Structure formats: C-alpha cells, structure tokens
Structure 1
Amino acid sequence: MAAARKLRLWMQVSLDGFVSGPNGEFDWPTYEKELNTFAVEQAADMGAMLYGRKVYEGMAAYWPDPRRYPGATELDLRYSETWKRVPKYVFSRTLTEADWNTTVVAEDVAGAVTELKEQPGGDLVLFGGGDIVSTFVRENLIDEYWLFVHPVVLGGGTPLFPTLETRLDLELVESRVFDSAVNHLRYRVR
C-alpha cells in the first residue's frame, strides 16, 4: 500500500501572526524573484491545491491568464500553466460550481481530506484564508506548516491559529530567508 499523501499549509503570515489585516487587507506580502521562483518550483509537484472560497475566487480571477494584467512575468506564466493543470478543491457551502479543474466540497471537510490523502499522487497543499485554515487546524488535518513570515507588523487582523483546546506540537524541519526578507519556516506536526 502506498504511503498517504501529506497535507501542507502554504500561508503568508505577518511577524505578529496575522494572515490578513484588521480590515481583511492582504496588500502586505512581499514577493521578489527568489520567492516567486520557489513557489513555481514547488507547485510543479503538488498533487492538488485546496482552497477556501474567497482565496479560490481570487486565484481563479488571475491565474487562468495572467497576461491580461500589466507586469505579468515569465514565472507568472509558468505558474499559470501548473495552476490550470493541477486538480483543485474548494471548500465552500455557498459556491455551487467552479471552473479550471476544480471540485467544490460543501460538506464533511475532514472526510473529504482524508479521502484525498488516501489517493495516489503528490502532496496536497492548502492555500486559504483564516476561516478554512482554522477548520483544518481544529480537525488536525495539516501534516506540515509552510509559513512565509513577512517583515511587517499588522497590529491586528485574522490570526493564523484559532484558539485550540490542546497544544499543537511542531518540529522545525527547514528554514530559509528569501531575497525579499521573507522567512520560510517549515514545520512538521509531531
């Protein structure tokens, strides 16, 4: 029997632990060429991309054809091709259908993720906002936390971690500082 796929959380976070600002703003992440290159390289091996509705809608508005926007780079075009090819799952009770190789999951998040983990293929990667991430954390569905800590203090907003009833013990597996001064911290759940 093949080993189960892992689920990685890929999350941008402020130095003070927030994933969005006090008014929901997400204009603070800093992406330079080195971090963009890393993201494109990592995407090539993803077995599936998982999203909450809001993040999926933002991705679906841009990635099918980034050439429509000024400043699209060769890296954007490479990521776009991967994004269109990789299966996507969006967890939403309000979205009824989605394009671009996407399946909508309306109920039983834990059951759906467990089923996906048992399928063959590359690892699953969750890109989400605070609500869906909180659900995945509380349900203990995340195997690795890939955090990208940006050099900004937001002073409030949506925290990365919800209030938990039990402690979450993690092991640092890797760290790296990118040219944009973003610190990548990769943790594995113990």
Structure 2
Amino acid sequence: MRKLKLQVQTSADGYMGGPNGEMDWMTFPWTDDVGAYINNLMASVDTIVLGRNLAEGFIPVWANRTEADGEDQETIDWMNNTPKIVFSNTLTESPGPTPPSPTVTSPKPSPTSRTSPAATSSSTAAPPSPPP
C-alpha cells in the first residue's frame, strides 16, 4: 500500500488562501530549515494529487516558471515532470500543457464500485487499543 503525504501552507489563523483565493501571503524563499524539511518531505513523492481549483493554477504556473522567478531548474523540472492526478467533477482534460499529462478523474464512486478489500476482510483480529 502506498502512503499519501499532505503538504499544505496555511496562514497563522488557519487559512490556505485569501477571500478570493489569493496566495500572496506566502513568503519565499523559505528559510534553510523550512526548505530542508520540504525537500526531505518531497524526496519520496512520485505523484502529485490536486483538486481542480489548485490544478487550474498550479499546473500552468509551473509550466511557465523559469529561474528568473526565483526557482532553481531542478525544482521546476521536478514540479513539471512528476505525474499528477487531478480530482474534478467538471474537468475532462488537463488544465495545462505540462507533460506528462495529468490524469483527471472524478472523486465520485461509480455505481459498480465495491468496498475496499480491507473493509470486507473477515479478519477476527482485535481492534487496536486506544492510546494511554
């Protein structure tokens, strides 16, 4: 089974964007310790998972990013070349030109989808004990 790691920037009061979705509150470049933490977190990432709103901004922005924007070429290439999955009920194709083309999928389960094997397991193991 694969791991899903969530990496999000939030403001001190818990918001991810301004009232109109703006992200101008984020400051860059990060300090060395924050940059090292993010680099370590991203080292094992092999797929980027996005919702429609983020994908519509993220994918085109990185496709046009250059070193003049303050990013190194290695990061630009990684952001553009890492496979992406976009969850959307409305998109039917990638919101940007970045190869490899992102997979666009609906988060709604199909009427024929089944419960995961883990949920239907006949295991009789006791549930984990609550933490002390």
CA offsets per residue over residues 75-110 of structure 1, 9 Å max, x none? 2x211211222110001111111143210011337x
Unmatched segments (≥5 aa) in structure 1:
115-190
User: What letter is aligned with 1:107?
Assistant: P
Aligned 1:107-126 pairs, distance under 5 A = 107-108=107-108
Separation of aligned partners in 2, 1:39 and 1:64: 21
Could you list the runs of 5+ residues in structure 2 that have no partner in the other structure?
A: 117-132
Could you state the TM-score of these two structures normalised by the residue count of structure 2? 0.65
- Larger Cα-atom Rg: 2
Q: Which amino acid aligns with 1:87?
A: P
CA displacement at 1:42 relative to structure 2: 3.8
Q: CA RMSD in A?
A: 2.5
Q: Secondary structure at the match of 1:89?
A: strand
- For the pair 1:17 / 2:6, whether they are aligned, the reply is no
CA offsets 1:29-68 (integer angstroms, 9 cap, x no match): 112243456545543421210001121121211212412x
Q: 2:78 aligns with which of 67, 71, 82?
A: 82
Counterpart of 1:93? 89
Q: Report what 1:53 is aligned to.
A: 52
User: Which amino acid in the other structure matches residue 32 of structure 1?
Assistant: P
Aligned partners of 2:107 and 2:17: how far apart in 1?
Answer: 25
| 1:126-157 deviation line (CA, Å, top 9, x unaligned) | xxxxxxxxxxxxxxxxxxxxxxxxxxxxxxxx
Aligned length: 105
Identical-residue share of aligned pairs (%)? 32
TM-score by length of 1: 0.47
Matched residue of 1:54: which SS?
helix
Point out which structure has higher relative CO (alpha carbons under 8 A, 6+ apart): 1
The whole-number CA distance in structure 2 between the counterparts of 1:87 and 1:10 is 16
